[in-house]
Amino acid sequence: MSNPLAVKQNTRNISLDIIRCVAILFVVLNHSVESYFNFLDKDTLLSTDSLRDSGSLILYTFGRLGVPLFLFITGYLLLHRDFDKPGAIKHFWIHNLLSLIVTWEIWLILYNYFLAYMNDTVFDVNMWVRQMLFVDEIKITHNWYITMIIAVYFFLPFIAKGIKNVAKPYLYIMLGVCLATLFVVPSINIFFSTFEIDTLNLRATPVFIATFPVTFILAGHLFYLNKDKKYIPIGLRILIDTVVFAVSFALTVYFQVYFHKNGNAYMLWYTFFALFPASWCAFDLLHMIPFKKNIWLIKRISICSFGIYLTHRPIQMYLEQKVSFFYQTNVIPFNYEKMWILFAASFALSYGLSEGLAAIPIVGELLVRVRKKKIHLF
């Protein structure tokens, strides 16, 4: 079947491969830090008085940059596609949406057997069916991203069609509204809850329920539209990005420490105002890395990034519970040595497993979404 969304491109986008690699490294780092620092446990609050344990918040902030980078890539690659062509939406739904749902349903079976083994229980068929129907969620922390992307893939063709003929200034206005909706009230409420002030309730919340992914995807699309425009000399652009990233990142870390010291066990989320400029500047800086040739390892990690995402957290859970070296998680003081070893081990094992699955035709496509050129289902 011909691809109505096909884009003429003979080589991979090396910059996006680099960004995917960094993004998946950050995601694995994020969950590695969570394993040794319970951000929602008020017993850990006083530990942030020490520089050593405040460092966990720095690492965690780096980890939180991973998901925004992935969403920027989604907008960069998909929103400019022409969904007006006959069969384009159908092709996208089959090739991207349906294949993702199939992959996720298979992993729900594997995850439930894994959790039954880890908890020494039996496979809960009722819970599994509820998860397959999206009326309940699997108790693995990274599951929310997959269900979010499934929803994004359903609506993305219509978003792309809706903004196709919208002038760029209006797209920036749309982005501004999304940014205000996503960040202003949630960020204010963090301060209010810290000082026991009644939080604000944004009445339009049901309308903007999808603001989080849409904001980052739209920003990625705007980056694509401006990728060939040389408005600013590259040296000045690097300087601006570096300064904005440093300031935004520092503010994000500072306020986390501040909230914890004032009794608010805040767990950094993507609605915090300073995280967006930090992640955006990180994307822009990584995109400007002047690599001309593919580096094999970067390319392979990029290709396997979805498989790494799906497998790294179960591997971490196994190591934490079944390997004695990794015991005593969520303790004070923050254990950097075990965290880094967990990070390295889980990344290496999840990458190796993803490569192994990717090498098997059909299996690689179903489990880690790596399609073979000659043999594929979708």
Nearest to 340 by CA among 108, 55, 68: 55
Over residues 214-245, the pLDDT tens digits come to 999 999 999 999 887 777 888 999 999 999 99
pLDDT of 184 > 70? The answer is yes
DSSP state of 96: I
Assign 361 to helix, strand or coil. Answer: coil
> What's the alpha-carbon Rg for the chain, to the nearest Å?
21
Q: Look up the pTM and report it.
A: 0.92
Spatial separation of the C-alpha atoms in residues 247 and 63, rounded to whole Å: 17
Token digits for 44?
């850990």
Question: Count of CB atoms within 10 A of residue 169's CB?
Answer: 8
Structure token digits, residue 228: 């060939």
First and final C-alpha spacing in the chain: 10
Q: What is the mean pLDDT of the chain?
A: 89
Backbone angles phi, psi at 174, to 5 degrees: -60, -45
Smallest Cα–Cα separation from 19: which of 65, 59, 60? 65
pLDDT digits (tens, 9 = 90+) for 1-47: 345 554 444 467 899 999 999 999 999 999 999 888 877 666 666 55
**Contact in structure between 315 and 350 (CB atoms under 8 Å):** yes
Token readout for 68 is 């925004």
Closest CA to 36 of 340, 334, 325, 267: 334
Give 274-325 pLDDT, tens digit per residue. Answer: 999 999 999 999 999 888 787 899 999 999 999 999 999 999 999 999 999 9
> For the chain, what are the domain ranges?
14-368
CA 9 to chain centre: 26
Strand, helix or coil for residue 263: coil
